[in-house]
Amino acid sequence: MWFVLRAEENFIFVYFEGSVQEHPRIGNLMQAYDDFLLRVQDIHKFSSLQGHLGWDQEVLMPPKGGESRGEILAWLAGKRHEQLTEPEMGSLLERLESEELDADQYANVREMRRAYDQAVKLPKEFVEAFAKARSASLVAWQEARAASDFSMFKETLETLIEMTRTKIAYLGVTSTPYDVLLDEYEVGMTVADYDPLFQGLKERLVPLLHSITHAQQHQTAPQLPDGLRFSIPGQERFCEAISSRMGFDFEGGRMDSSTHPFSAGLWPGDTRFTTRFDEKDPFSCLYAVMHETGHALYEQGLDREHRFTPRGAAVSLGVHESQSRFWENQIGRTAAFWDVALPLFYQEFPEAPQWDAQTMNRIANKVEKGFVRVEADEVTYNLHVMLRYEIEKKLFNGDLSVEDLPKAWNTMFSEWFGVEVPEDRLGCLQDIHWSMGAFGYFPTYTLGNLYAAQLLEAMRNDLGDIDAMISSGDWSPMLDWLRPRIHERGSQVTPSKLIEDATGKAPTPEPFLDYLEQKYRALYQLDE
């Protein structure tokens, strides 16, 4: 606890933790806020540089560049940490927290207080070492995934997990160690929140999956013909056309390929995303592009007036994933979408069977107990997330060792999905997140699904027939609806408040479950 005892011309005297401390007096409010803002912008520019080099590492960096890249990223992480934890930043935060601020100013102070309070608990040396370890781990994961050999990744993953446990100890545990990680990606969310949420989802998703599986035994589902190949240049042109139709500005961004698709909002005017290609399956690339374009549209829609500040940044990963999942699934996996996409598809692949929009939609929405999360249908997708959540919880709250991770993964997958994992590439090596030290990230995908469905429900109430709008080929009204409600607000309010403001009600899983049951009961004729 602290409070000001008295103020003099050049100094203030503060009572803090049992002693009186002397601090330089900051000028008037505007001067203090301007000083604070300049510091905040510098910190965020360091983050942008880290992001740019991270994008380059995954997309363009030659294999032998990993060691030097790790050193540079570690140095940048240290410099950013130095600026964030300067005593002057703490003094400015204390001063501004006692003032009347507008909503945007308050958002910046709120978010920087949280960042500052966490950063001062971490030694600079640890921050640098952690950044270097993540860089090395990414290279090791890429090589291990290509070889489908977990043993090649085991050592660097062990290092990251031990360092993450050290970080948890520095930050302090109030409930469970894993809660510290969950809070990093969706503020305020804990195991106590996710456990009942996931259990509630399973109670309705598993019976739906069983009903679909049973129906599939009596139905002939359309599928891509064996032996048909879809050229990579053709997929690239097709996907770029869809991304442009969604509203992505290619003069302010670009599309590339990487081992794992991702999006990076580097700085205003430069938003990049990646995909990956499979000549046997054009849907893999298409829905990766729609997913990442959803992320990228969010980044391109942030308010430039607030660039390089928390106010001008996305509010959370859960909200970020709502944008990707909205475009990927609730727009892209509809017959109305294929009304528009089919002519573009056949322009690139005239040799493909002449399917209609309904048939393409059935192919795109095929429910199957597949291995790969990013290619999973909407019914099984959250089960993939839950599996990763349970494994991470065991790693940090239980006694699961890294050595036993592949076995634990394969056992759980077999129990949950009823199929055996044939190789590490399709199992515990498929996702990039652990190589980045992003433990606690996965549950935000489920939050994104829930938020997306709630946004769709509100959008439909405001705009009317969304399917007709999609079929028209003019998708701008949907993006125009999202811009002021989600994108432009940045981190002005908390994630839950943002969703409530946009939809008129607090976040709830009901719209998602209702949407999913209605959609798949119709697709698989479950009510007949």
Catalytic center residues = 292
Which phi and psi angles does 170 have, rounded to 5°?
A: -65, -45
With DSSP H G I counted as helix, E B as strand and the rest as coil, what are the percentages for the chain, rounded to 5?
Answer: 65, 5, 30
- Residue type present at position 270: D
126 vs 351: CA distance, rounded Å: 56
CA angle 398, 402, 407 (to 5 degrees): 90
284 vs 235: CA distance, rounded Å: 10
CA dihedral 448, 454, 460, 463 (to 10 degrees): -70
| CB-CB contact of 276 with 261 (8 Å) | yes
Write the DSSP assignment of 47-68 as a string of letters.
Answer: HHHHHHHHHHHHHT--GGGHHH
Write the DSSP assignment of 260-271 as a string of letters.
Answer: S--EEEEETTEE
Give Cα separations from 71 to 65, 130, 314 (angstroms): 10, 11, 28
Structure tokens at 292: 């990442």
| CB-CB contact of 207 with 428 (8 Å) | no
Strands (E), 230-269: 253-257, 263-267
Structure tokens at 305: 């007036």
Residue 390: Cβ within 10 Å count: 17
CA atoms within 13 A on the CB side of 257: 11
Phi-psi region of 2 (alpha: psi -120 to 50; beta: other; left: phi over 0): beta
